[in-house]
Structure formats: C-alpha cells, structure tokens
C-alpha cells in the first residue's frame, strides 16, 4: 500500500488572503482529486476557517483526511505574548496555549460530526519563540504539556510535533522554537502518543544546508518517532517568494527554477531514503506568483506532486 500523501491547500489558495468562496469551492475538490492525494492540510486560525467555518464544513471534500495545523494562530499568539506556547516555562503562557488546543480538539470532533471529512493529523508546535533560552525548563514544560494533551479525546486524530526552525544564536530565524533533539526528549519523557513531523523547508531555514536536512530526517527516523515528512522548499537568496530563508513554502526547484528553491528532485529522493517507511508524506508548496486561476494552481500542485511520485 502506498504511503498516503497530504496536500497543503492554504498556501496554494488565494482565497485565504482575500476570501473568494467561488474559487475555493472549485479548488478544494480539484486538489483532493489529484493522483495519490488522500487528504488536505488546512489551517486552524482561531477556528476551522479564517473566514467562514460553516462554509468550510459544508465544502470540505467528502472522504478527505485532513491535517489540521494551528501554526498561523501560534505565530499570531506568540507575537501578542512572548510567553505563549506549550513549551513555555511560564505557566500562564503555557495555559493559554493548552486552552487553545482544547478548542482545536473540539473542532476536530466537529469536523467528524458536521462534515464528510475527518481529521487524521493534528500538528503541535514547541512555542514560545526563543524557547531554547530557557533550556531544560522548556523541555520539561513541553513534556508536561504533551502528557496532558495526549490524554484528551482527539476523535481518532494522530498528534505530531511539527519541527520548525530552532533558535540559533546570532541568527534571525523564522519560528525559533525548540531543537528537534529537545522535542524528541520531551516526547520520550511525556510517554504520550505523539510523533515527529519534519517539514523540509523549515529544517532548511534552521540548518541553512540542504544536505544537513537529509541528515536531520535520518536522525528523526532513527528515533522511532518520525510520523510524517512534508516537502516544502526554502531559498538562500531573495527571489520571487520574498527574502532569503523566509518560510514561504517554495516549490520543488525543477517545477519553477525562478524560485531559487534548495529543494530539488535529488533532495526529495535523499529525504525519502532517509525517512524510510514513514507513515505519511505531505506536499506543502505555495502557488506561483502568477497563479490566479484554479487551473493554474492545480497545475502547480500537480507538478510538485509528480516529482515526489517519481522519487518514491
């Protein structure tokens, strides 16, 4: 049986920045219908949809297995409160993040009850930013949070920590959360049913070395906790998607060379080899700057998926 592939819909869709329900109603089923796609990654932004939750529940494709990510909300919350996050040694900041995740759990149940889809994956994030400055206190806080979160009813969804770029002294970074080693230590200590999810682009932003990403994936696989591998690019130079090392979900290089993406077909193959028998794969790429129609967006997604299929 082939490894299931999730396709992240929100960086592909212009409707999240400027709400266009007509475009979104056509786009979501078209993305889900692409070869090998078993589900879609969708954002949790203080709710199931940034514009219209009822619309989303009515239009999410039937049979889709969703990955629900709260990373947009986590980053907004971190900007408002530097202590916010499930790895925060500040109990008030940690409690706020746990309260939000209880709402996510309720929304996972709501998807199952009120739509024709289900949530297969929920991604967690080891905020606050610069948590590494707290050292072992942050690791211990994350372990306590995971133990609590793992005891809740998630309506059959699997919990994973999505590793983002870790804090590196002297470097601006993007997310600046805990290191993968710290996250794995917390998973082990918590004894909670939580896996590790690697996003290639976010690891590249942290390591600033495409080959080092392959090694990090291998380390995650060796831990026994690797649950998923997401293909998303990053660039060492400014270009069509913005400044260098921006978490802009760049495409695989061969599909759009102007992107200057470090993620190419060779690194896709290397990542798959390092990941081994990983349970889930994901493709998370943004639409090209000139993609404004559903057909153009679907073509971009299809081209990136084809590179992953060819490497499997």
Task: Write the pLDDT tens digit of every residue in 163-203.
Answer: 999 988 888 889 999 999 999 999 999 999 999 999 999 99
Q: Are 100 and 146 in contact (CB under 8 A)?
A: no
d(CA 69, CA 11): 12
> Using one digit for the tens of pLDDT, what is the confidence trace for 90-143?
999 999 999 999 999 999 999 999 999 999 999 999 999 987 777 899 999 999
**What is the SS3 assignment for the chain?**
CCCCEEEECCCCCHHHCCCCHHHHHHHHHHHHCCCCEEEEEEECCCCCCCCCHHHHHHHCCCCCEEEEECHHHHHHHHHHCCCCCCCCCCHHHHHHHHHHHHHHHHHHHHHHHHCCCEEEEEEECCCCCCHHHHCHHHHHHHHHHHHHHCCCCCCCCEEEEEECCECCCCCCCCCCECCHHHHHHHHHHHCCCEEEEEEHHHHHHHHCCHHHHHHHHHHHHHHCCEEEEEECECCCCCECCECCCCCCCECCHHHCHHHCCCCCHHHHHHHHHHHCCCCEEEECCCCCCCCCCHHHHHHHHHHHHHHHHHHC
pLDDT at 17: 87
Domain locations in the chain as residue ranges = 5-311
> Using one digit for the tens of pLDDT, what is the confidence trace for 211-231?
999 999 999 999 999 999 999
d(CA 31, CA 39): 9
> Using one digit for the tens of pLDDT, what is the confidence trace for 9-47?
999 999 988 999 999 999 999 999 999 999 999 999 999
d(CA 273, CA 267): 10
Taking the domain 5-311, which CATH number applies? 3.20.20.150
Mean pLDDT of the chain: 96
Say what the pTM is: 0.97
Rg over CA atoms, the chain: 18
d(CA 113, CA 155): 10
């Amino acid at each position: 049986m082939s490894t299931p592939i999730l396709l992240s819909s929100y960086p592909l869709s212009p409707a999240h920045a400027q709400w266009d329900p007509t475009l979104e109603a056509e786009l979501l089923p078209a993305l889900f219908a692409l070869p090998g796609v078993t589900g879609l990654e969708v954002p949790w932004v203080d709710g199931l949809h940034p514009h219209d939750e009822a619309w989303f529940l009515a239009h999410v494709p039937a049979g889709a297995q969703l990955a629900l990510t709260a990373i947009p909300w986590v980053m907004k919350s971190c900007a408002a409160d530097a202590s916010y996050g499930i790895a925060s040694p500040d109990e008030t900041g940690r409690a706020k993040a746990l309260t939000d995740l209880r709402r996510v759990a309720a929304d996972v149940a709501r998807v199952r009850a009120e739509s024709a889809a289900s949530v297969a994956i929920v991604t967690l994030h080891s905020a606050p930013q610069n948590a590494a400055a707290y050292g072992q206190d942050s690791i211990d806080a994350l372990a306590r949070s995971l133990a609590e979160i793992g005891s809740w009813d998630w309506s059959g969804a699997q919990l994973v920590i999505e590793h983002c770029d870790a804090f590196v002294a002297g470097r601006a970074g993007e997310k600046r959360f805990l290191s993968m080693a710290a996250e794995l230590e917390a998973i082990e200590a918590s004894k909670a049913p939580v896996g590790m999810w690697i996003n290639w682009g976010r690891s590249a932003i942290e390591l600033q070395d495409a080959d080092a990403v392959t090694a990090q994936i291998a380390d995650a696989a060796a831990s026994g906790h690797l649950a998923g591998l997401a293909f998303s690019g990053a660039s060492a130079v400014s270009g069509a998607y913005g400044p260098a090392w921006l978490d802009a979900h760049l495409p695989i290089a061969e599909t759009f060379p102007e992107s200057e993406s470090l993620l190419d077909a060779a690194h896709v193959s290397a990542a798959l080899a390092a990941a081994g028998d990983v349970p889930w794969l994901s493709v998370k790429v943004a639409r090209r700057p000139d993609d404004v129609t559903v057909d153009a967006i679907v073509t971009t997604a299809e081209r990136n998926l084809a590179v992953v299929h060819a490497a499997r």
